Amino acid sequence: MAWIKMRTDLLSDPRIAAIGDELHRNACVTENCDGRHAHVTAIGCCYALWALADTHSTDGRMVHMTTERLDRMLGVVGFAAAAVRVGWLKVVENWLEIPRFDKHNGESAKARANAAARQAASRSRHKKAQPEKRREEKKSNTPLSPPKGGHPNGSARKRTRPMTPEEAGEAALARLPK
């Protein structure tokens, strides 16, 4: 069965909004459209473009396809130009190319997506099969002894005010090996 990968957050993608706004301005959708329909139309056009490329291309290059021909196939004038402006389509001589096609489409991308889905399912199964591990606190009746040197920072007494530069110099000299 053939399939293409689509993100679930496309409706909120700024590039879809830009394409949808342009389709709305071009009056490529119905006159009573409030703008959201144009964004849904943009997603439908992207789906059709990606499916077309997946069916007729192995590397994202669609030879003999022009922006006009793509718009005519989709039935939406201006989609191809808007897709070019947002970087989802590239015009090269007398053909179109989908940039980064191999990242989301093609056999290697599908293999990666399938492997990720299998791995997620496997992790889910193993997580359910193993009992929950509980860590019990070890209780000891012996009191904790203070750290060596008397104070947690290693000094003999707790300092209540910052050192003056002279005191800091003396303390540094006292720590030097003799």
Is pLDDT of 59 > 60?
yes
**Predicted pLDDT of residue 28:** 47
Say which residues have a Cβ less than 8 Å from residue 76's Cβ, sequence separation at least 6.
23, 28, 29, 41, 45
Higher pLDDT, 70 or 5: 70
130, pLDDT greater than 70: no
**Greater model confidence, 71 or 139:** 71
Higher pLDDT, 18 or 150: 18
